[in-house]
């Protein structure tokens, strides 16, 4: 296998999937590669009570009921819609489920304002059409149509970013389970094979952009993924992703637990401030998601590796946090400056430690950004 910048889950965790498939004796819906119990175990990790000969790492951190309901939905051949704020792990969960169920998570349509019906059905190879006319050979199937033909999972990212016409094209696919090709006289219907389903994601902050129709909503089971607010769970997620980053870049750098605590507490403070704000101008534009925490820590680690002394310091962490969250000027800068003086400064005087360096780094970052 050639090197990949980012391997899909079925490649990255191929050894685990092979092992689970070899010991799986449970009933499997349709053409699933793993039983529902093994799919859950792959996503949430193994425990001693599972009685396996090897440990299966936890890959998604959240309430197991969300994973179980997602699996049950896909086993019923209904569409699954994962909805939540940015950075709650919707896409990662969709990728893991697809990898475990059919060993293919790459049949993805990315929803945007420019997504057309062709992106979820089919288009044509123009040169072949000119040379030989329209035929199944000159047709270019979409990832969703390919999933139908193979009886596997197709994914639709950011469904509510697409226009209503595009969304409506999914209705017949989810209900009738076939796509008509009126341009052809023969072999002009593609039927979905058993095992086909769609996992879509939607950003709850996009409500009102392109709301789903009632007809399309009926074709999906909704699973709402909440923002992680439990510090312990959030710390596990950030630590898991950070370890992946360090391995990928072959970086030998320790993340001091005190700095991870500072990062988690800072986001908790800023979320509390946003919750009590009375207007949008008093809220950071950032969603303050777990994914953004990971981005801040990644930025700080790489900066320490390439431009520091390969030691993660609170000043560097503060600079990364301010630089990542200050997206509007002067609104976000004013909010962050207020946080530094109103929360971090008293905490640095009382607790000292890393908070003093964090305060100094934050002040320097604000000054450079102003």
The one-digit pLDDT tens for each residue of the chain (370 residues) are: 457 778 999 999 999 999 999 999 999 999 999 999 999 999 999 998 888 999 999 999 888 999 999 999 999 988 999 998 887 889 999 999 999 999 999 999 999 888 999 999 999 999 999 998 999 999 999 999 999 999 999 999 999 888 888 888 888 899 999 999 999 988 899 999 999 999 999 987 665 456 788 888 889 999 998 877 777 888 888 888 788 777 777 777 778 889 999 999 999 999 989 888 888 788 888 888 888 888 899 899 889 888 988 888 999 999 999 999 988 878 889 999 999 999 999 999 988 889 999 999 999 999 998 7
The structural domains of the chain, with segments of one domain joined by +, span 9-224, 231-369
Q: Give phi and psi for 57, each to the nearest 5.
A: -70, 145
Q: Could you tell me where the DSSP H helices lie in the chain?
A: 9-12, 14-23, 36-44, 64-75, 90-102, 126-132, 143-150, 164-176, 214-218, 231-248, 257-276, 290-307, 314-325, 331-339, 345-351, 354-369
CA distance 57 to 16: 9
pTM over 0.75: yes
CA distance 132 to 154: 30
Minimal CA–CA distance to 204: which of 90, 97, 301? 90
The pairing of strands 139-141 and 122-124 is: antiparallel
Minimal CA–CA distance to 91: which of 110, 119, 112? 110
The CATH fold assigned to 9-224 is Rossmann fold (3.40.50)
Minimal CA–CA distance to 341: which of 360, 317, 319, 314? 360
Q: Which two structure tokens, joined as six digits, stand for 286?
A: 């950032």
């Amino acid at each position: 296998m050639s090197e990949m910048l980012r391997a899909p889950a079925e490649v990255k965790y191929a050894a685990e999937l092979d092992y689970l498939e070899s010991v799986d004796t449970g009933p499997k819906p349709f053409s699933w590669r793993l039983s529902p119990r093994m799919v859950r175990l792959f996503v949430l990790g193994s425990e001693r009570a599972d009685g396996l000969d090897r440990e299966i790492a936890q890959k998604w951190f959240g309430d197991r009921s969300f994973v179980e309901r997602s699996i049950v939905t896909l086993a019923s051949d209904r569409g699954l819609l994962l909805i939540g704020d940015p950075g709650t792990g919707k896409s990662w969960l969709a990728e893991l489920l697809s990898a475990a169920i059919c060993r293919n998570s790459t049949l993805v349509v990315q929803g945007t304002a420019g997504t057309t019906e062709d992106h979820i059905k089919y288009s044509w190879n123009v040169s072949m059409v000119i040379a030989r006319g329209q035929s199944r050979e000159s047709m270019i199937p979409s990832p969703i149509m390919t999933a139908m033909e193979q009886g596997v999972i197709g994914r639709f990212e950011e469904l509510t970013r697409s226009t209503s016409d595009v969304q409506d094209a999914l209705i017949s696919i989810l209900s009738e389970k076939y796509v008509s090709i009126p341009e052809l006289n023969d072999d002009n219907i593609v039927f979905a094979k058993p095992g086909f389903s769609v996992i879509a994601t939607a950003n709850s902050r996009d409500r009102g952009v392109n709301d789903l129709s009632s007809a399309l909503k009926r074709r999906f089971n909704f699973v709402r993924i909440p923002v992680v607010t439990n510090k312990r769970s959030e710390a596990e997620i950030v630590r898991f992703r950070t370890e992946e980053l360090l391995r990928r870049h072959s970086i030998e750098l320790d993340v001091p637990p005190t700095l991870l605590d500072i990062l988690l507490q800072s986001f908790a403070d800023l979320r509390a401030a946003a919750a009590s704000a009375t207007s949008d101008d008093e809220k950071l534009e950032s969603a303050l998601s777990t994914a953004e925490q990971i981005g801040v820590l990644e930025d700080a680690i790489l900066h320490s590796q390439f431009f520091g002394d390969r030691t993660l310091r609170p000043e560097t962490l503060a600079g990364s946090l301010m630089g990542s969250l200050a997206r509007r000027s002067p609104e976000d800068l004013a909010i962050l400056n207020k946080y530094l003086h109103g929360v971090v400064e008293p905490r640095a005087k009382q607790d000292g430690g890393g908070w003093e360096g964090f305060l100094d780094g934050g002040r320097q970052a604000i000054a450079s950004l102003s």
